[in-house]
Amino acid sequence: MMDFVLAFIGSFAGAILFNIERKNLIWAGICGGISWVVFKLFYIQTDRVVFSTFLAAFVCGVYSETMARKCKTPAFVFSIPGIYPLVPGITAYTTVRAIVEGRLIFAVNKGIETIGTAGAIAFGIMLASTVFQFVSKVNEGYKNKPKATS
Amino acid sequence: MNIKEIMDIASFAGEILLSSGAEIYRVEDTITRICNCYGVDCECFVMPTGFSLTVRNKNGDVLSNVKRIKNRSVDLHRVEMVNTFSRKLLNERASYKEAMEELNRIKNMPYFSYSLQIISSGFVALGFTKLFGGNVFDSLVAFIISMGIFYAKDKIQKYGFFQFLEFFISGLIAGVLSILIGKMVPNVNIDKVIIGSIMTLVPGVAITNGIKDALYGDFISSFSRLIEASFIAIAIGLGVGVSLIIQLSWV
């Protein structure tokens, strides 16, 4: 719960930096909180950073698509602050630190993890929005079909 | 309405979108939609650093223009406003004067006040330092450092050096300040403070937009965005790295 509040604060303040409309700020903050909690849960279970980041980004994408339909705004308003907690700050920093200290193999390890995490975030969000577009298209087809036959 | 005015509206809308960090497909969509609303054909080619646009009306008159975008920032609210503006055009065609007034209003839309932005950048650092396992001292230190970074970055941006310098200097400030404070105050975890305070700088938007562009088929812009993002990351890393080297060898 404490984690949720902290991630909420981070995303909320980040949303202010991105200049989002006032009524959407709270929802953007909640998005950050949710994605961090999902990440934490899966990370404790599986101990795989990239995989849990991917799932968290997917959940974040689903949440922001749903909210986008409710609030009638584009989805990125929620998803960009929402992925703030997932951005691989720690691993990137560890990479730099390892390079500075001369432990190059460790640095390569961490560097690949950083790139993988960044990719996982983007693909998670894209997967969510693609699924939503697909579902809405299928729905349209389903609605149109009976009309065409009758 | 003549063809030149239509092109003016479309390219102004595109300029606002592109300089506020919208995705490529959204810019192309909006420009095409605006032109189609007024009943002219249009063909546009958008890259992150500028776009070119050709408009052709029914009599066969052709007009084209190239626009270079210099300043890019992230401002999601403006993107949203231009988006709704272009959708509104479908229902009611605004005249040239109305449309330009509306777009000018969007362009000069007030930001959150400067002090609020500084404070919120501090809160980003505070939240994330605590989240990544720092203690209360760490987060307070990161709060102050992050506000300092935001201020310094803004000042450098105003003088208009090249973009990566400001990220380099911000990383350097973060590293040096947190090492200094870590020396003076016991109980401060330098790693956590640095991570928290550079959190406002990381190019998260650029990376996601880059991969999004690739998935929509705009490979050139996707590449340039990803490269921009990685250069920003390298610049921050260099700044932090230099300060860490100083710490390792002299302090």
B69-117 confidence digits (pLDDT tens): 887 777 888 888 888 888 888 887 778 788 888 888 888 877 777 788 8
The answer to whether residues B145 and B226 belong to one domain is yes
B180 or B163, greater pLDDT: B180
Q: Which residue of B has its CA nearest to A10?
A: B124
Q: Which residue of B has its CA nearest to A80?
A: B205
The answer to whether residues B99 and B129 belong to one domain is no
Spatial contact of B148 and B173, defined as CB atoms under 8 Å apart: yes
The answer to whether residues B201 and B135 belong to one domain is yes
The partner residue sitting opposite A21, judged by closest CB among B77, B121, B130, is B77
Collect all residues of chain A within an 8 Å Cβ-Cβ radius of residue B116: 16
Structural domain total, chain A: 1
Collect all residues of chain A within an 8 Å Cβ-Cβ radius of residue B191: 93, 97
ipTM over 0.85: no
Mean pLDDT of B14-18: 89
Q: Which of A9-23, A26-40, B21-35, B218-232 has the lowest mean pLDDT?
A: A9-23
Give the pLDDT means over successive 10-residue stretches in chain A (150 positions). Answer: 78 78 81 88 87 90 86 79 82 85 88 87 86 84 57
Residue where a domain terminates, one of B70, B89, B107: B107
Kindly determine whether residue A101 and residue B132, on different chains, have CB atoms separated by under 8 Å: no
SS3 string of A25-86?
Answer: HHHHHHHHHHHHHHHHHHHHHHCCHHHHHHHHHHHHHHHHHHHHHHHCCCCHHHHHHHCHHH
Please say if the pLDDT value at position B33 is more than 60: yes
The answer to whether residues B89 and B206 belong to one domain is no
Residue where a domain terminates, one of B54, B87, B107: B107
Residue A55 placed within a domain? yes
The answer to whether residues B55 and B173 belong to one domain is no
Residue A72 placed within a domain? yes
The answer to whether residues B233 and B142 belong to one domain is yes
Q: Which chain A residues have any C-beta within 8 angstroms of a chain B C-beta?
A: 3, 6-14, 16-21, 36, 73-74, 76-77, 79-80, 83-85, 87, 89-90, 92-93, 95-97, 99-101, 118-119, 121-123, 125-126
Is residue B88 less than 8 Å (CB to CB) from chain A? no
- Which ranges of chain B does DSSP label H, i.e. alpha helix? 3-19, 24-37, 76-91, 96-107, 114-131, 136-159, 163-184, 190-197, 204-215, 219-250
- Residue B138 to residues B68, B175, B189, B202, B244, Cα–Cα distance (Å): 43, 14, 6, 19, 18
Is residue B210 less than 8 Å (CB to CB) from chain A? yes
Kindly determine whether residue A93 and residue B198, on different chains, have CB atoms separated by under 8 Å: yes
Tens of pLDDT, residue by residue over B188-200, are 778 888 888 888 8
B25: containing domain: 3-107
Kindly determine whether residue B207 and residue A122, on different chains, have CB atoms separated by under 8 Å: yes
Structural domain total, chain B: 2
Kindly determine whether residue A80 and residue B245, on different chains, have CB atoms separated by under 8 Å: no
pLDDT of residue A105: 92
Kindly determine whether residue B248 and residue A101, on different chains, have CB atoms separated by under 8 Å: yes
Kindly determine whether residue B191 and residue A76, on different chains, have CB atoms separated by under 8 Å: no
The answer to whether residues B225 and B125 belong to one domain is yes
Residue A150 placed within a domain? no
Q: For chain B, give the mean pLDDT.
A: 83
pLDDT of residue A91: 85
Residue where a domain terminates, one of B74, B92, B107: B107
Kindly determine whether residue B212 and residue A14, on different chains, have CB atoms separated by under 8 Å: no
Collect all residues of chain A within an 8 Å Cβ-Cβ radius of residue B75: 18-19
| Distance between CA atoms of residues B112 and A22, nearest Å | 10
For residue A98, give the nearest of A80, A114, A85, A75 by alpha carbon: A114
Is residue B241 less than 8 Å (CB to CB) from chain A? yes
Residue A141 placed within a domain? no
A39: containing domain: 2-131
The partner residue sitting opposite B240, judged by closest CB among A8, A90, A96, is A96
Mean pLDDT of B135-147: 84
